[in-house]
Structure 1
Amino acid sequence: MTASTPGNSRPSTWLEIIAADPGHSHRYRERFRDLAARGQDIDGEARLIDAMVDRGAHVLDAGCGAGRLGGFLSAAGHSVVGVDIDPVLIEAAGSDYPGPTWLVGDLAELDLRGEGIDAAFDMIVSAGNVVTFLDPDDRRTVLARFTEHLAPDGRVVVGFGAGRGYPFDDFLADAAAGGLVSELLLSAWDVRPFTPESDFLVAVLRHSPR
């Protein structure tokens, strides 16, 4: 049994947030630059993903933001593609973390085959509450796009917090509708187990059995 997210009002999408506050993306970018400069650990999500895949894995950082996760994985030896809808953050990713392929794109319209990129990923990761910034009407579409881009034995890992308008049960139902099944549920990126009282979900998903 999974826990439902309290607070089910519709959250603002990322596009709505930056339209209302054009400086938001710049502050978001600087926040993580400042944390890194002060020696704060900003790589917990990336370390878990690195431990889950073979060296040289093909990884999609879906909703990559300013590139901290994809940049770490690229430096660890993986082939990384990062996609985000925010051009300010993609520019920051390219500046701070050269190496991965960084692309501006809408996850609801994801089709990397049109970019000439190998679309079979060993791992697709969506951290930083990305799924809660999607338009609710696009959630199932995005998860189905992940399925289409996933290698047969690949995994999708999605992490987000409670109270953001996307109940955990609804997310898992949307994942199932998109062709994904839960392999493991955690309550943090440091692999603490998920319980009905958890206020954070890290869902490890794979292709549904045919």
Structure 2
Amino acid sequence: MPQFKSLLPVRFAVLHSGEPAEVTLNFANNTDVALTTRWRVPQLADPVMRSRAADSREFALLAAKRWRHYRDIHNTARSIAELQRMIAKDAEGEFCFHLKVTADWFPGSLGGAMVRRTWYHHLALDFLFVHPRISSKLVDVRSVGVQLLQGICVVAHALGCQRVWGETTQDSAPFYRRYLEEPVDDQFTISTAEIARLSASLENVRIG
């Protein structure tokens, strides 16, 4: 399996109210995932923003439910090294990991992603979400989603996966079109070349 020098955790900057603010992307553990189930939908007058916040909470709850399933059958990983060991023991096993973005200036996580390594050695992105206060723009933070996507590609690159894929919603499809720079309908695929490009993009903004 090829190794990529930008292994997690990685620190980088997002835009917080228009100013760079440091965050950290890393693997999540059971406690981190459980904390996302405590997110609440803020009271908002704008129905569009309230819907986005509700979607964020729903995705976090679904991701936590899926995580618990894999945890209970001992198929969750908390590092790239752990994933590599699990794959070495069972080349066609299906394993789950969860990524998080955290910051000293924000309570809990800013967002997360639940990902599966499939039996065919691809990565399937089941859920990618940001905190309801961010998705509803109550807190002005930008680029968390794309950095999570880049982090998934770091893992894919390190494992030697040739594809990252997932389903989209009507709201999320424009996000993937923008950052993958290709047509996207109700699903997307990230090729080996795009995995390398997105991995390098995260390395380019690494702090320290």
As a proportion of its length, which structure holds more strand? 2
TM superposition score normalised by structure 1: 0.35
TM superposition score normalised by structure 2: 0.36
